[in-house]
């Protein structure tokens, strides 16, 4: 949680500030939810969800997302789980669906397999992940329409 922001790192330290900052925010969400659990009422999740959404929107045309789409999948799941009962949840659902469509994944088992390669503790994350994924599946027609246009994350 004490990692510096991308802007605070020395010039040239990392190749993609957007990728670094998105991973940093998702890792903080994971830490606050799993490693050192905080109750949802603390407000930190809403703040992190908004910050993560901002970073992803600002970087949606960056080539880093084409190079690491499964990292983006994990980031969107972390943000989506933390966005439970917020106005930002649908943004995460739609973007997660778009990334899943690009990756050709529509089953939870396939998603869970990819998530297992990153920070993911099934006992703590699976319930929220499954609920989020159920929303993605329910919104599949919306996602299909979204992906017919130019998909910035593909």
> Roughly what angle, to the nearest 10 degrees, separates helices 89-103 and 122-138?
90
In the prediction, which pLDDT does 100 show?
93
Q: Break the chain into its structural domains and give their ranges.
A: 6-148
Look at 20 and 38; give whichever has higher pLDDT. 20
Secondary structure letter of residue 62 according to DSSP: -
At residue 37, φ and ψ (nearest 5 deg) are: -55, 130
Which structure tokens are listed for 37? Answer: 């659990």
Given a cut of 50, whether residue 142 has pLDDT beyond it is yes
For 104, counting Cβ atoms within 10 Å of its Cβ (0-12 exposed, 13-18 middle, 19+ buried), the class is exposed
In this prediction the pTM is: 0.79
Range 32-40 average pLDDT: 74
Confidence at residue 7, expressed as pLDDT on a 0 to 100 scale: 64
Residue 106 near residue 141 (C-beta atoms within 8 A): no
- Residue 8 — pLDDT band, cuts 50, 70, 90? low
The pLDDT tens digits of the residues spanning 71-125 come to 999 999 999 999 998 999 999 999 999 999 999 998 999 999 999 999 888 888 8
3-class DSSP state for residue 59? Answer: coil
């Amino acid at each position: 949680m004490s990692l510096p922001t991308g802007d605070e790192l020395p010039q040239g330290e990392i190749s993609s500030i957007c990728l670094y900052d998105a991973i940093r925010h998702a890792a903080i969400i994971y830490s606050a939810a799993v490693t050192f659990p905080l109750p949802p009422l603390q407000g930190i999740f809403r703040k992190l969800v908004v910050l993560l959404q901002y970073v992803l929107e600002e970087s949606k045309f960056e080539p880093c997302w084409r190079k690491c789409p499964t990292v983006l999948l994990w980031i969107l799941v972390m943000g989506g789980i933390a966005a439970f009962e917020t106005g930002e949840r649908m943004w995460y659902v739609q973007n997660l669906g778009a990334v899943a469509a690009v990756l050709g994944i529509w089953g939870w088992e396939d998603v869970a397999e990819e998530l297992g390669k990153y920070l993911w503790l099934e006992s703590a994350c699976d319930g929220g992940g499954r609920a989020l994924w159920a929303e993605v599946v329910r919104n599949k027609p919306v996602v299909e329409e979204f992906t017919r246009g130019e998909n910035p994350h593909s």
